[in-house]
Every structure is written in C-alpha cells, then in structure tokens.
Amino acid sequence: MKGMEKKLLPLLISIVSFHETIVVLAVQGSVSSRISSNPSMAAFSPGMQPGMEEHKKMDPSKKMLTAFIVACSSLGAIFSLLFCLWTCYKKNSLKPTKNGAKSLDVEKGIALAPFLGKFNSMGMVSKEDFASLRDYQTLEQSTNKFHQSNILGIGGFGCVYKAQFVDGSYAAVKKLDCSSHDAENEFQNEVDLLSKFKHSNIISLLDFSSHKDTRFIVYELMQNGPSHGSSLTWHRRMKIAMDIARGLEYLHEHVNPPVIHRDLKSSNILLDSDFNAKLSDFGLAVTVAAHNKSNLKLSGTLGYLAPEYLLDGKLTDKSDVYAFGIVLLELLLGRKPIEKLAPAQCISIVTWAMPKLTDKSQLPNIVDPVIKDTMDLKHLYQVAAVAVLCMQPEPSYRPLITDVLHLLIPLVPMELGGTLRVGQPIVP
C-alpha cells in the first residue's frame, strides 16, 4: 500500500503542476491580450513582439473565452484521470493485503513488503515470482526436494539449501525444524530483525514461510559461502574485515534501537560472487532495548565469547567487538579459535597467539602460510594491534567498532573500497 502511495504521489504532483501550467498559460493568454489591447502598457511589456500585431487585433472577449475553454477541458481531463487512479488505488487496497502486515504470521507464511524492494533491486527474483516463491511446493521444487547435493551449510536447527527457480534465479533456503521452542524463537527473531535491515554488508532476507512444523527463510545466495578456510589474498582478507566492521557499525550505531549480533564468527560471515562479505545468522541477535528488559540465555559460540559475557552474562556491543577480534585473528593466522591438541586437550587461539602478536620478530612467522610474506609488514603489525585491542579482557578497553573500521579502511586497496593505493591488479 505504501509503495502504491509512493508511486501515486509524484504522479499526482505532476498532474497538478501540469494543470497549473495550463491554467497559468490560459490566464497569461487572456492577461497578455488585455495588456496588448492597451497600447501604453504594451510598450512596457517585455514579452511583446512586433509580430504579435495580428494577435493584438483579436477580440479580447474571444480570447477570454478560449482561455476559459482550455482551462475547463484540461480540468475535465485531470478529474477523469484522477478518478481512474483513485479506482485503481481502491481496487488494490481491497485485495487481502499481506504487505501491510507488521508482525509475523508464520501459520499463513505471510511475506513482508520491504522484501519486494530488495528483491527487485538485486534483480534476482521478479515481483511476479514473489507470490509463488514462498509456497512449499515452489521451495521443494527449487531445491530438488531438499536434496543433499543442494545443501550449502548445516545450521543448528536444520540445513540451508541452494534453490534455483524456474526463471533461472538463485536463492538460499534455510529449512528449520521448529518442533522445539528455541528453533521457533530463532526463526521469529531472525525474520523480525532482518526485515528491518538494509545494508550492503548484511545478508538480504527475501522471504519466509511455514509448512506444518517446518519454517523456511529465503535469503540472497552467497555464492562463495563462509569466509573461513579460504585461500584469499591479504588484501581480500582486509576487505572482509572492513566489510564486517561496516556491517557491525550499522548494527551498533545506525540501527535504532542498536542491535548486538551475539554470534559473530567466520561461519556467519558469507561471501558473495564478488567476495563482498556480509553478516548472516541473526537468530541470536538482540536489540539493546530488549536485552535490558529480559534475561537472556547464555548463547553464542565457544571461542568467540567475550570473558565478561561468558562469566557474568554481561552483554554489550563490546561483546561483538571481542568476537570481531577473534575473526581478525582467524583471517591473519588461518587458525580456528579453539584447536584440539589431543583428545582431551584444547587450546584457544587467544591464549596461543596473544604473546606473539605483540612481538614484531615472532609475528611474521605465525601468519597463515597462504599469505606469509605477501603483505607490508607495517600493515601486519597494525592489524595485529587492532586484534589485540579488540580482544582486551576489559570491555571498556576495547575500541568501538567505528574506530576499528577507520583503522582498517587505509589497509584496503581503493579498488576494493578502501583508501590504499596499490600498483598491482587485485586478485582473489
């Protein structure tokens, strides 16, 4: 409905201004005829040309009549146009509207209006396909009956499948078994939050629906999957870090009320076909306002949890900054946050790396072998310093994500959206 209003408004404005132009022209015609009929005034009229003599000779009352007829006929045309538009508008508003739904109606699989814009802007699925996209049969067909070979990743409550629709467009479909209360909550939470976000570093929600105990979330497809375990270059890794800092800055600083992701980790950072990184998996995310009111269950992923959250349940935007520090370390070192040394022995990346990160002689030897010796050492020290700051045990010593972002931008080549000038072409 809002979209319709948005389209109607400029149309009405242009019609009204068109109408005004005609009336003004008509009136001007009659006024100039009145002026021209007065020779003394004609001498001061800037619009008067010598060739207008013929015009001058016309009967003034005839001109008034012509002006009147033009104005009346234009008004008539405008009113009939307005009437047609109004009828169209009424017809649309009488349709059982799903777009206006603000809250989630999972039983009916109701879709939200904001997605339409995202859909079309991405050129992935057309508006016509949108209506059919969310029904179970379409999702089943597009994922080859949720075939194993279509699995993109495995989540806590179900798998994410690659879907290809009849028009050739792609999407990712998360299939959640919602027989448990936790799964239903995560589904509701993710859909509610994602439907409010619009940012190039946050995954786009395309649709959602429900079938018996199963819920479906349809996202834009991220062709290059999660960011970990990749053979990306140093510059690409810095670009991923910058993208995620941008996504987090949006959640912490630009969304109102602010949102804490609460499960930032490399498997929730997805790469599109151009290796742009986007934050995904908002099942555990909380708005700061909601978090203050309710008691949250301790959730997240071990290895990424900030100490104050793990020990006291104290959750702030600085918990995301801590997790960001761990992600930065993964990009730098090519290691998992917690590694198994022996069957009953694990080591955390923080404990292992922290002393080496601040030692300039040791640092170059612990970087991921894939990128070893490929970066400016000054930049390596800077990134390590940023990671150390983010992982400070005391949350108030950690920087804000905005500060982190501004430290990273100069390390990313201009071609990739940063401010660094590099001579060579950028490779993945």
Ligand X SMILES: Nc1ncnc2c1ncn2[C@@H]1O[C@H](COP(=O)(O)OP(=O)(O)O)[C@@H](O)[C@H]1O
Please give the residue ranges that form the binding site for Mg ion (CB under 5 A).
268, 281
Contact 4, 91 (CB under 8 A): no
Chosen from Mg ion, ligand X, none, partner binding at 150 (C-beta under 5 to 8 Å by type):
none
Cβ atoms < 10 Å from Cβ of 295: 6
Strand partners, 346: 340
State which residue, 156 or 313, has the beta carbon closest to ligand X. 156
Asked if 280 interacts with ligand X (CB under 6 A), we say yes
Catalytic residue chosen out of the listed positions 207, 243, 263, 317: 263
The verdict on whether 263 is a catalytic residue reads: yes
Single out the segment in contact with ligand X by CB under 6 A; choices: 69-77, 125-133, 217-225, 371-379: 217-225
Q: Is the peptide bond before 257 cis (omega within 30 degrees of 0)?
A: yes
Shortest reach from residue 318's CB to ligand X, in Å: 23
Establish if 219 lies at the interface with ligand X (CB under 6 A).
yes
Q: How far apart are CA 374 and CA 133, in angstroms?
A: 45
Residue 318, annotated as binding a ligand: no
Q: Assign 316 to helix, strand or coil.
A: coil
Q: Which of 225, 247, 300, 418 binds ligand X (CB under 6 A)?
A: 225
* Minimum CB–partner distance for residue 158 and ligand X (Å): 7
User: Within 315-344, which residues bind ligand X (CB under 6 A)?
Assistant: none
> For ligand X, which is the closer residue by CB, 303 or 395?
303
Q: Which does 29 bind (CB under 5 to 8 A by kind): ligand X, Mg ion, none?
A: none
Q: For residue 356, with 0-12 CB atoms within 10 Å meaning exposed, 13-18 middle and 19 or more buried, which class applies? A: middle
Q: Are 426 and 416 in contact (CB under 8 A)?
A: yes
| Nearest residue (CB) to Mg ion, 281 versus 320 | 281
Residue (of 129, 126, 128, 99) closest to 4 by Cα position: 99
Measured distance CA(215)–CA(188) in Å, rounded: 10
Kindly state the smallest distance separating residue 101's Cβ from ligand X, in Å: 23
Nearer to Mg ion, 112 or 176 (CB): 176
Among 139, 141, 134, 161, which residue's Cα sits nearest to residue 150?
161
Beta carbons within 8 Å of 93's beta carbon, 6+ residues apart: 1, 4
Which residues ranging from 137 to 196 are in contact with ligand X (CB under 6 A)?
Answer: 152-153, 155-157, 160, 172, 174
Residue of minimal CB distance from Mg ion? 281
Q: Check if the beta carbon of residue 37 is closer than 8 Å to that of residue 56.
A: yes
List binding-site positions.
175
List binding-site positions for ATP.
175
Q: Where do contacts with ligand X occur on this chain (CB under 6 A)?
A: 152-153, 155-157, 160, 172, 174, 203, 219, 221-222, 225-226, 267-268, 270, 280-281, 283
Catalytic residues: 263
